Every structure is written in C-alpha cells, then in structure tokens.
Structure 1
Amino acid sequence: MFKKIRRFSSKVTKQDSDTEDFYHEPGTLPGTIIIDADASPSVIKLIDYDQTNAIHKQLATPEECAVYLDTESVSWVDVSGLGSEDILQRLRTVFDLHPLVLEDIVNVPERPKVEDYEDQLVIIARMVLPKAKSNGFYSEQVSLVLGKHYLLTVQEEPERDCFEPVRARIFKNKGIIRKQGADYLAYTLLDAIIDGYFPVLEDYGEHIEDLEEEVIVRPTHRTLLKIYQVRRELLQLRRAIWPQRNAIHSLIQDGNELISDEVRIYLRDCYDHAVQVMDMVETYRELASGLMDVYLSAVSNRMNEIMKLLTVISSIFIPLTFIAGIYGMNFNTEKSPYNMPELNWYWGYPMCLALMAVIAGGLLFFFWRRGWLGNTSSLDD
C-alpha cells in the first residue's frame, strides 16, 4: 500500500501543496493507485477539431472517447478530478495506458517528468494559479498523454485551470493551432502552464517590496513570520519549476517521433520561459533571504535608538540627581558658615532650579551639536 507524507504551510492548502510525497512500502504491487476520499469526481470533456470544424461536449462514459482516437482530427480529452476510480480504470483501458502511467496520474503529486511509452508520450507537469483574495497560490498536477492524433489531459481539480485561452483559440480559430497536430496542442498547454507562473511571481515581487518597507519602517515578530512564509512558498515554486524545466528540455532533445521538428522550435521558446521563471524564483528567494538580514539589522537599529534615547535621558539626569543629592543632605548651617549657606538665601530654591535647567539645556545642546539626537535609521536616509 501507499503511505503519504504531508507537510502544509499556512497559505497553501492540501490541494495546493506540492510538498506531499508518496512512498512505497516494501513489496507494494507496481501500478497500485490510491484515491483520496476528498478527491473531486472525474468529469470527461472532449474537444475535437480540424481546420474546418471544432466540437466541444461532455462525455458520459470513457468508452465514448474510442471513436475519436483514430480519426485524422485532433482530439483533446480533458479529465478533471481524480475521485472516480472506475472511470480512471476504464480510461486506462480505452487509451491502452500502462499501469505505471495511471499510477503517476492518480497518485499525486508526482515529480514533473517525461516518459516515453512507444506510441505514447507521458508528460507530468505542475500548474500554479494565483489566489484572487489572498497571498499564495493554488497548485495542482496536470498529466498529459500524447498520442498520434489525440491528447489526454488529467487534472486534479475541475474548478480552475489556465487552459481557457487555449480553448478560446481553438473555437475562434486564432493562430495556427487548428492547422497543427496533437503535439502542437501539447506545446500550447505546456506553454500556458509555464506562463501561469508569471502572475504568481509578480504577486510575490509586490509582496516582497511591501515586506522590505515593513522591515525597515515597522519590523515586528509578525514580519518575521511573513518572511518565513514567503521563503517557504518560493521553495515550493522552485521544486515545481526546476524539474519542469528539465522535462521540457528532454522533449526538445529526445527526438520522439510524436513531436515534429516544427513543434520542437516552439518548445525551445517554452523552455526559455521556464528558464526565466526559474531565474525569477531564485532572485526572489535571494531577496527573501536578504530580508531576514535586513530584519535583524532593523531590529538591532531600533534597539540602538531606544538605548540611545535612554542614555541621553540618563546623561541629563545624572548631574541633576547629583545636585539634588547634595542639597538633600542634612547639614546644620548654624554650626558652621560653610555648611551650605545658600540654603538660607532668599532666592536659593529658584537658583537651584535655574542651575539644573542650565545644565540640562547645555547637555541637550552638546548632544545636538554632536549629532546624537538625530534618527539615523529613518526610511528617507
């Protein structure tokens, strides 16, 4: 049987986390699949198109796909949800999938990769989408099975994906997508998946800028938690895009007959986008790590400002306390003319207060001329 290790962050839910890992116990039967109890029911949708026509419909049974697999038109079978084991097993029969392919598709998350199964090419990818009302992102596995005239895609969740622009291009007959084969369709979906990382990273760029200002102006313990959260989520993005970049590179280099030379040229552009995403992720990770040093410096500077203020106050009151201490001593002026004769002066008390004020003012002026009263850690500086 399978066991699953789950580690969650506070921003990424179970469906969003790409830090879950499956591992086999010794003796596990290869091809065993595990259906999560909370997985969405499987829904099958078909888009079949050629240069002149395009149809879109929802299929009631997996067997309805069979008539479209050997036609000259391109058939895109999109399965959303991994909660129906019966449907998934029947799809395996219809598409003649290897048991290990179904295992990779169902037992998510799987490391992004490319597998060659003679007349089929299996591509495992990870799709991310930004959350609309909060920081963080949704993440799910997308599995692509490429045949000669068909493409089977399997998604974890039916509610969201980044393929709507591709569907619009098919039905509106924009570009060359309806003049190309199933390999070009696979490229467009991979390109949409890679491009989906850019809005997520744009949100993280803005979030890091806000954190930089917060770290400098008003660092708190909550700021530290935010920095840790950003670093953890960027690590999840790195774990998703790094093997995905290598998988796209292998599609370009392996020379599989299911991918034409023309499509390989397009895949090179997709690979460049993946490299760009990887560079952005690494840059933001370095910025997030640098924020930790800035936070520690800001907290240290804030403590120094507090200690400086306390030191200035203490320095002013030390001589005043000295004067008050002297005149607090009980000397009898009748015994000696040197026992504080000023205690009997008519203006003795006002003179003492005036002396204290002059000393305090003089110290403040001295500190000001030395620049010790300025705020050396302001945002403008």
Structure 2
Amino acid sequence: MAKRKHRRPRNKILERKVGLRPGTFSAPTESFPPRFFLISFTQDSFDEQELKTYPELLERITSRPDARHWIDIRGYGDQALLEHLSHDFGLHPLQMEDVINDYQRPKVEEFDENRLFIISRMLRWSSETKSLDDVQLSLFTGPNYVLSLQSDYADCLDPLRERIRVGKGVIRQRPTMYMAYAMMDVVLDYYFPVMAEMGEYIEDLEQKVLLAPSKSNLTLILDLKSELVKLRRITWPERDKMTEMLRMDEDVIPESLKVYFRDAYDHSIQLIDLIDNHKEMTSSLVDLHMATVSNRMNDIMKVLTIISTIFIPLSFIVGLYGMNFSREDPETGRVFPLSMPELYQPYSYPILLCLMTFLILFQLYFFYRKGWFRSF
C-alpha cells in the first residue's frame, strides 16, 4: 500500500452524511485519480497492460470474449467513472455505496445470476507508527472476469500477478471464481507476516517492561491492545465470509473449488487463534508492567525503611542529649543529683559518636543476617 505521511486516522463513519437516499454514492474528496489495469489470459496466452481511459478498458474486454479478465481499478476520484461502472457491470447502487464507503467489514453477497460481491481487507503493519494500516478490496465476479476496486494504488496482490504472468499453477485453467479465491487467499496469507511482526513487537515490549517500566511503555501496550482488537474485528468476519461461501450452491461455487475455500477457512481459524494468543500476551504485559512497578516501589520503600530504622535510635540519642538540662543551678551553684553527668565528661562527644557508629553497624549487620539486602 502506498506510504503516506502519518497522521491519526479519522473515523470515516463519523464523516458519513446522514439522511441520504439509500444507494447514494459520491467520490470521496481525498481519493486518488483512478488508474486502470487489465490482465487478460487463456491457457495459452497472456496480456497485461495499464490503460489510460475507461472506454479503452471496455473495448479491450469486449474484443476478447474468449479470455478471462482481471479488471483492476485503483482510485475512486472520478464520480462519472463510478456511475459508468455501476451501469456497465450491472452493480447495484447499494453495492457501489459499500465500495466507496470503504470501512466495510469483510462479507460476501450473491446477486444477479450467481455473481458475487466480496469485500476483503488488506493489512500492513507499520513499523514506524506501530499500528495497522488496512485498505478495503472489493471484488465483483462475472462470467469471464473479476472486477477489483480499491482506494489505494499499492496492494498485496503482486505475488498473484506474478503467478499469472509465468503461468504457474492452475490459475489459467480454472474459472474466474478460482481467481477470486486466489485474491482472497493472498490477502489472508499477508495476515500471517503481520501477526509475526506484532509478535516480535510484543517481545520487544516485554524486554522494555522488564528493564525499565514506564508510563510510555504502558501507553504502547494499550495502543497495541487496541490494534489487536481492530485485527480481531476484521478477521472474525473473514471466517464468517468463508463459511457462507462454503454453504453456497454448486451453481455459484463448484464443489471442486470448495476444497480451496475450506483451506482459506482454516487459515482464518489459525489467524483467530494467533490473535487470541497475542491478546493474552498483551494482557500479560499489562500485568507484568504493574507487577514490575509494584516491585520497584517495594524496593524503594525497603530502602527508605532501612534508612529510617537506622536513624530512629540516632535521633533518640541526639534528642535526649539535646535537652540541655544544666547539671548545677547557675545562681546557687547547687549540683543536681539526677542531671546528665555525661555533658561535662572530657571524652563524652567522641564516645557518643562511637556509640552511634556502633549502633549503625549493628543494625546493618542485623539487616544483612535477615536477608534484606539480597533483593537489591
């Protein structure tokens, strides 16, 4: 997918105008100008080109009724083109509305004599922003073509294009429904590298939390958790979509092709399991962060407690001898029997310092014997 300057994505649902007639669609203001790509092939021939105009695209398709075509249109920035597509390919306005408002969940709909309308979501993990970028891929199947529509110029379907170019596999020998399956399969296959990158990121966060827990790390963990929720919200409908396609009549999806859709269904189940595992690991990271912060706080409190415990007897001695009760009456010279005799001893000050030092060393030895220093 094409790289754009990073900014916080806006909620497209909130931007949608309210109260419009159902089936009303218009080109988004920030859409790319449309580009037209056509791949036409038979078992023995292959032709790929980028066309400049939509009429030229239609002419190439109609001139080769014997071939199978992949009509690839990227960019929605032309309202007239959208209306021509709806008319020329027999697409319902509600379907075109779902295409243009590209925040739809993955789904499949059957319409007009065993044709299918399929929505998938292509994913990419951004290593810079540590977030998921997703682009909607809309597919329409026909008797000898698959029409794909997407808002971005770049996608994840280049491996499939290369397979068609070199003639590997059976894609040139199969009906167009197999090509639609191949597109969905490539999209799902790209979910696994995304999951692997997210797993590595979780491990990096775990090391950061263990070494230096901080509020910024907690924010990263919570952001990752929201990305996993988003990924799960995309993957579950993919599983439901495959389930629905497996239940379709043989006129729509032949039984010989359903084995491939079962494989795609298995992939979606594996993805859901991976997402659940990543969610549990992320939740464990939150618990680990809290436990690490709590342990650090306990260590700090232990240090402060030791310091306070050391100075408590010292403060008592200093406070006791700081009362400054005089030994004799300054007016009569009378000596008081219960006064502090140590105040006027010649070596009382160094003796008191030695006593205080002994108390400090004794307490440190006592704490060491108790094992209080082993966790530092």
TM-score in terms of structure 2 length: 0.89
Measured after TM superposition, the shift of residue 256 of structure 1 is 5.0
Q: Please give the secondary structure, in 2, of the residue aligned with 1:75.
A: strand
Contact 1:124/1:143 (<8 A) preserved: yes
The amino acid that maps onto 2:148 is T
| Match in the other structure for 2:168 | 174
| Match in the other structure for 2:94 | 100
| Match in the other structure for 1:141 | 136
Q: Structure 1 residues 323, 132: closer, same or farther in 2, change over 3 A?
A: closer
| Match in the other structure for 2:71 | 77
| Match in the other structure for 2:237 | 243
Instruction: Measure, in 2, the Cα distance between the counterparts of 1:310 and 1:319.
Output: 15
Measured after TM superposition, the shift of residue 45 of structure 1 is 0.5
Give the one of 24, 29, 45 matched to 1:37: 29
| Match in the other structure for 1:339 | 339
Contact 1:65/1:94 (<8 A) preserved: no
Measured after TM superposition, the shift of residue 166 of structure 1 is 0.5
Q: Could you tell which deviates more after superposition, 93-102 or 182-191?
A: 93-102
Give the one of 82, 86, 90 matched to 2:80: 86
Measured after TM superposition, the shift of residue 347 of structure 1 is 2.9
Instruction: Measure, in 2, the Cα distance between the counterparts of 1:294 and 1:338.
Output: 61
Give the one of 41, 46, 65 matched to 2:58: 65
| Match in the other structure for 1:277 | 271
Q: Could you tell which deviates more after superposition, 170-179 or 312-321?
A: 170-179
Contact 1:65/1:77 (<8 A) preserved: no
1:71-106 Cα shifts (integer Å, max 9, x gaps):
232200011111111112112222121222211111
Q: Structure 1 residues 293, 52: closer, same or farther in 2, change over 3 A?
A: same
Instruction: Measure, in 2, the Cα distance between the counterparts of 1:132 and 1:48.
Output: 36
Measured after TM superposition, the shift of residue 23 of structure 1 is 6.5
| Match in the other structure for 1:374 | 374
Contact 2:25/2:93 (<8 A) preserved: no
| Match in the other structure for 2:149 | 154
1:50 equivalent in alignment to 2:42:
yes
Give the one of 205, 223, 227 matched to 2:221: 227
| Match in the other structure for 2:350 | 350
Q: Structure 1 residues 129, 256: closer, same or farther in 2, change over 3 A?
A: farther
Contact 2:28/2:100 (<8 A) preserved: no
Q: Structure 1 residues 271, 262: closer, same or farther in 2, change over 3 A?
A: same
Measured after TM superposition, the shift of residue 140 of structure 1 is 0.8
1:266-322 Cα shifts (integer Å, max 9, x gaps):
111111111111111122122222322222222222222211111110000000111
Instruction: Measure, in 1, the Cα distance between the counterparts of 2:271 and 2:247.
Output: 20
Contact 1:12/1:138 (<8 A) preserved: no
Q: Could you tell which deviates more after superposition, 335-344 or 246-255?
A: 335-344
Gap runs ≥5 in structure 2: 1-5, 329-334
- What percent of counterpart residues are identical? 37
| Match in the other structure for 1:297 | 291
Gap runs ≥5 in structure 1: 1-10, 377-381
Instruction: Measure, in 2, the Cα distance between the counterparts of 1:130 and 1:241.
Output: 15
Aligned residues: 362
Q: Structure 1 residues 256, 118: closer, same or farther in 2, change over 3 A?
A: farther
The amino acid that maps onto 2:363 is L
Measured after TM superposition, the shift of residue 49 of structure 1 is 1.0
